[in-house]
Chain A
Amino acid sequence: MGKCDALIIGGSAGSLDVLLRVLPLLNHELSFPIVIVIHRKHGTDSLLPELLSGRTKLIVKEIDEKEEIAAGTIYIAPSDYHTLIEHDHSFSLDYSEKVNYSRPAIDVTFQSAAEIYREKLVCLLLSGSNADGVNGLISVKAWGGTALVQDPASAQVSFMPEQALIHAKIDYTLRIEDMAEFINLLS
């Protein structure tokens, strides 16, 4: 096992383009799961996993509740639920109040995963127009994990990564063209 047990990617406005560029460059055999939490409109489920699975040979699927988390799989958080991680490395879904006007909220998944994976968690916050994910990254650091943000200069909407850089201790700031290599080296 490498230094990473899970990679969680959060993003909002402008993050989809990043994923579409990065996913095709990922190794087809990653030793950890990737969980993607991005804000989107309720009722458009299935579209996002379909879109992303066209860009990679890795398995891409929307999360089912209580599903066991497997390495080498890309999981998409369903719209209109929060995604949490259990101690036995399975997903729980939660239909509680929105956080940062968002459900799924990136903070909820980052915070939940922070405590489970601790120093073997890597979280990456992409482009976006609100500060969801920033508190999550603070928790990730508190538990010893690694916090990454997209280089605000390369972000379509720089607010989200900028807020993270102001408020959290960020380990690395990544340009889009460097993300895939960084992720592949986590294996």
Chain B
Amino acid sequence: MNLELPAINDEQVEVLLADLLENYGYDFTGYSKASIKRRILRLYSLDKALSFAEFRYRINNDNFYFKRFVEQITVNVTEMFRDPSFFKTLRDVVLPKLGTYPFIRIWLAGCSTGEEAYSISIILKELNLLHKSLIYATDLNPVVLEKASLGMFAMSQMKQYSENYILSGGTNEFSSYYTANYSLAKFDDELKSKLIFSTHNLVSDHSFNEFQLILCRNVLIYFDRDLQYKVLRLFDDSLEGLGYLALGTKETLDFSPISPNYKRIPSEKIWRKVS
């Protein structure tokens, strides 16, 4: 066996995904194959698994390792005010429109460790809308939600986040939103007063409320087309008329079954439900 060839083949990936579904109820079978296989191989090598059989046995019999597996095969890379022009449009166009409502309900699907949730809180606070807003931040993975609810991010990231914040139209001192605690920046409790962190699996869970704004950025890229359409229908069912749906820079509503009901805000991946 050539060492440069992957230690796990496609059939073995299918075996692991079937195990997860059967033993834990996590359905990854609609995920893009190339990406999930790469994540599994990465973990296999990171954890120096001795064989596929050993790796599989651990996932199925060691609950702690199973949690690590789910956390590692899903992508949890995120940052505050990522794609500043997107957050500028939220600030200048979308949220002021929603500000005319008596109450604002936002769903941030696939929130990971929470960086975007706190970013949205900051904008709502600056627009003086935070008091009448609720942000449901969900992820399939309880481990990242625990981190998110702490509201603490690496100090080393703050320079980058501060630059993003300014580019997104923020005019305050970014450092006024957190206190430095050694290597961590602890964000003000007020920012999480309207954040509700909760598990929700886009693959298997249903709609749980009606929202005026749903954000789901860089999640659909990991799904195959069929699963993407299924999740978009879930969003459509969960969005009020005239509500907004925001996707990642490389994601689109075009060609999906729900696209006829939506009108895009030019130059951003934000669509408004028009019928």
Contacts and interface: CB of A to CB of B under 8 A. Distances in A.
Nearest to B217: A95
A65 B33 contact: no
Interface string A75-92: 000101100111100001
A19 interface: no
The range of chain B's interface size is 20 to 34
Interface in A117-142: 138-139, 141-142
Q: Is the interface of B mostly helix, strand, loop or mixed?
A: loop
B221 interface: yes
A65 B251 contact: yes
Interface residues of A, number: 25
B221 A115 contact: no
A112 to B, nearest CB: 5
B53 interface: no
Interface string A137-149: 0110111000000
A85 B248 CA distance: 20
B77 A66 contact: no
B263 interface: no
Given A66-B225, A84-B34, A95 B4 contact: no
6 contacts: A64-B252, A80-B249, A84-B35, A93-B221, A96-B39, A143-B5
Interface of A: 64-66, 78, 80-81, 84-87, 92-97, 108, 111-112, 115, 138-139, 141-143
**Nearest 10 CB-CB pairs, A to B?**
A142-B4, A84-B34, A92-B32, A96-B75, A95-B218, A94-B35, A93-B221, A92-B34, A65-B221, A86-B34
